[in-house]
Amino acid sequence: MASSNLIRLGGLAAVVAGALLLIVDLWNLLLEIIVGESENFSAFAVTTSWTVMSTMYLIGVLLLLVALVGLYASQAEAAGTLGLVGFLAALVGTGMLAGIMWAMTFVVPSAAIEAPAFLDAEEVAGPLDMGFMLSGIAVAVGWALFGLATFKARVFPRKAAIVLIIGALLTVLPLPATTLVIDVAVAWLGLTLLSGQRRSAGTSIGAQPRVQ
C-alpha cells in the first residue's frame, strides 16, 4: 500500500511539475519573442514577472524530485541496474538544478539591487559559469539515462521514454525553448501513472496477474 501511494504521489508530482515547468518555459519564450534582449537582466530580476516565474520554476523542480522517486519506484525491478544508475544521476542533476532555482528565486533579486553589473555581465570571474555548465550536463545525462532505462523496462509507453531521452539531450543546446520537450515527457509519464496504464510483468495497474 505504501509503495502504491508513493507511486501515485510521484505520478501526481510529475503531472504538476511538468505543467508548471511547461507554463514557465512557454512564458519565458513569449517574453523573449516580445521583449528580446532590450531589457537588462538586473532590471527584469526585480519585477513581479520574475518573482512569479522563478517561484513557479522552483516549485516545479522540487516536485520533479518527488516525481523522479515515484517514477523509479514504479519500474525499479524492471529497470535493473541501468534504472538505478539513471535514477541516481537524474536525482543528482535535478538536485543541482533545484539549488540553481533557489538562488534564482531568492539571491538574484537581491543581487539585482546590490550588484546589477554582476547580473548583467556576459561573463563573470570564478567558478559560476562552470557550475551552471556542469549542472546542465548533469541534468541532461541523468534524465537521458533514466529515459533509456525507462525505454528498456517497457513499463511506461516507449514513445514517452523516447520523448524523455530527446528532451533531456535537447536541454544542453544553447537554443530557446529546448526544455519544452522534457516538460511534456515528464507530464506524460505522470499521467500514465495516474491513469494506471503502466505495465508491470505484462499487466496494467489494477489487472489481476495470471495464475501459472
Q: Specify the pLDDT at position 180.
A: 96
- Would residue 210 count as lying in a domain? no
- Would residue 206 count as lying in a domain? no
Q: Specify the pLDDT at position 210.
A: 36
Structural domains counted in the chain: 1
Residue count of the chain, please give it.
212
- Would residue 81 count as lying in a domain? yes
- Would residue 204 count as lying in a domain? no
Whole-prediction pTM? 0.88
pLDDT tens sequence across 155-203: 999 999 999 999 999 999 988 889 999 999 999 999 999 988 766 534 4
Residue range 66-71: average pLDDT? 96
Helix (H) or strand (E) holding 115: none
- Would residue 205 count as lying in a domain? no
Amino acid letter for position 181 = V
* Full domain range(s) for residue 42: 2-199
162/170 Cα distance (integer angstroms): 12
* Residue 1 pLDDT exceeds 90: no
pLDDT tens sequence across 78-131: 999 999 999 999 999 999 999 999 999 999 999 999 999 998 887 888 899 999
The position carrying cell 518573482 is: 51
* Grid cell in block for residue 49: 514577472
- Would residue 207 count as lying in a domain? no
pLDDT band (50, 70, 90) for residue 36 = low
- Would residue 21 count as lying in a domain? yes
Q: Specify the pLDDT at position 200.
A: 54
- Would residue 41 count as lying in a domain? yes
Q: How far is CA 196 from CA 41, 90, 174, 193, in A?
A: 44, 24, 37, 5
Beta-strand ranges (E) seen in the chain are: 199-200, 203-204
pLDDT: which is higher, 137 or 201:
137
